[in-house]
């Protein structure tokens, strides 16, 4: 009987080890949870971006004439829609993996449960055959010595405990199995919702691409006008850069005039301890600066890139163009001092704000709320943005400089506007 009990004890110990290992291996990792959360957040952000483009498109459509701005917004919307579909596909892929893992877990738990039940049935059968108290007592007294009698008595007690634990393990495993089955059903329902969502988004994408083709085709007939508009934009950009350089040179001239005699003349903007601290604070907020408008989309990126309608023509943007709603205002992205307010004939006004070593530029303004020398705070409204009646658009041109080096504003602005 002692050999049988030891064999049974080893068997249940093995079952417990396997079960513990199985439960640990099926727990979702932190990385998986994070990835799922990131995908959900990304999906929400893309849906928010699509909603913004819808609002902006609705404004452009109030003007019966098709415009390049309408094509730009459509391109932005299509890009966001494609990214949204890709994100949904990633979610579906992750769910498929989870469903596969759940199925494996269920099969393993069912196998473990069957084994536990089979072992328990054998134990009950054995206990039934040996339920006579006299036989158990004789088994103890038949021992060669007291030590062996004590060990046999312990075996009998452990065997009884083991039966109770085996029953508890069966109940626990059955509970885990039911939970896994419920999780599986939930994941399958989530997958059905995602697949339905994907189908809907693909329909929307097809509609938007058709609309884009129609706008693209109509605008191609206006190529001469668009080329003239592009030339004017280049000329306005050139004038803006010259005006910015004049303001920087004026600041340098001021420092030169204030420099002590006999010392080298400064060739770059010098910083007081306070200005250096402000500059450091600005630098530490990279990718966290608020947008210069409350709502908007980047309709033209920084640097050299092809024209959206004429890919053989390159556009060089020293900042970013942000399309926003009619009536929107520009706001300072960080605390600083206004160093320039300049009127640009035919292109509105622009404001230059200094933040230590950094400069921010807000161009295409209709009205300005600040003057040179004013101290501004983060998110302070500094001017209203021009509305273009011809193209039914409201666009803020925004630049960031470090000294005399132009930086990509997208690297500095908070991603989720």
pLDDT tens across the length of the chain (417 residues): 444 433 444 444 444 444 444 444 444 444 345 578 888 888 888 898 999 898 888 888 777 677 888 889 999 999 999 999 999 999 998 889 888 888 888 888 788 777 777 776 776 666 555 554 445 555 555 666 767 665 765 665 665 566 677 677 777 778 877 888 888 888 888 899 999 999 999 999 999 999 999 888 888 888 788 888 888 888 888 999 999 989 988 888 877 777 666 666 666 777 888 989 999 999 999 999 999 999 999 999 999 988 888 888 888 999 999 999 999 999 999 999 999 999 988 789 999 999 999 999 999 999 999 999 999 999 999 999 999 887 788 999 999 999 889 999 999 999 876
Dihedral Cα 146, 150, 152, 157, nearest 10 deg: 160
> Domain spans of the chain?
2-220, 230-411
Residue 95's Cβ-count burial label (10 Å; 0-12, 13-18, 19+) is: buried
CATH 3.20.20.370 fits 230-411, yes or no: no
**Torsional sign, CA 58, 59, 60, 65:** positive
**pTM of the complete model beyond 0.85:** no
CB 95 within 8 A of CB 190: yes
Q: Of 373, 395, 100, 350, which Cα lies nearest the Cα of 242?
A: 350
Partners of 365 in the β-ladder: 349, 385
- The C-alpha atoms of residue 43 and residue 220 are separated, in whole angstroms, by 34
């Amino acid at each position: 009987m002692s050999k049988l009990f030891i064999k049974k004890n080893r068997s249940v110990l093995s079952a417990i080890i396997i079960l513990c290992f199985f439960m640990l291996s099926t727990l979702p990792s932190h990385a998986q949870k994070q990835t799922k959360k990131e995908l959900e957040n990304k999906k929400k952000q893309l849906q928010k971006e699509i909603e913004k483009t819808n609002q902006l498109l609705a404004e452009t459509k109030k003007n019966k004439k098709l415009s390049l701005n309408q094509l730009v917004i459509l391109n932005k919307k299509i890009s966001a829609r494609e990214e949204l579909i890709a994100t949904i596909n990633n979610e579906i892929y992750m769910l498929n993996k989870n469903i596969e893992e759940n199925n494996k877990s269920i099969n393993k738990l069912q196998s473990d449960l069957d084994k536990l039940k089979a072992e328990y049935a054998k134990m009950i059968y054995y206990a039934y055959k040996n339920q006579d108290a006299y036989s158990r007592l004789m088994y103890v007294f038949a021992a060669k010595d007291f030590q062996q009698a004590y060990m046999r008595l312990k075996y009998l007690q452990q065997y009884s405990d083991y039966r109770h634990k085996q029953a508890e393990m069966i109940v626990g495993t059955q509970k885990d199995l039911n939970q896994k089955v419920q999780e599986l059903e939930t994941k399958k329902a989530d997958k059905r919702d995602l697949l339905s969502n994907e189908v809907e988004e693909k329909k929307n994408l097809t509609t938007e691409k058709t609309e884009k083709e129609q706008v693209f085709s109509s605008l191609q007939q206006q190529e001469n006008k668009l080329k003239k508009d592009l030339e004017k934009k280049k000329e306005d950009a050139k004038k803006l850069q010259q005006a910015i350089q004049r303001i920087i040179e004026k600041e340098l001239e001021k420092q030169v005039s204030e420099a002590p005699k006999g010392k080298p003349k400064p060739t770059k903007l010098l910083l007081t301890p306070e200005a250096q601290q402000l500059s450091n604070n600005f630098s530490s907020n990279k990718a966290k600066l608020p947008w210069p408008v409350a709502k908007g989309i980047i309709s033209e990126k920084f640097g050299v890139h092809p024209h959206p309608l004429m890919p053989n023509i390159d556009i060089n943007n020293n900042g970013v163009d942000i399309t926003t709603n009619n009536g929107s205002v520009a706001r300072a992205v960080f605390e600083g001092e206004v160093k320039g307010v300049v009127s640009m004939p035919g292109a509105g006004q622009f404001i230059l704000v200094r933040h230590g070593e950094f400069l921010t530029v807000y161009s295409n303004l209709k009205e300005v709320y600040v003057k040179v020398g004013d101290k501004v705070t983060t998110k302070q409204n500094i001017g209203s943005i021009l509305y273009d009646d011809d193209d039914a658009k409201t666009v803020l041109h925004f630049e960031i400089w470090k000294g005399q080096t132009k930086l990509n504003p997208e690297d500095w602005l908070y991603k989720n506007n």
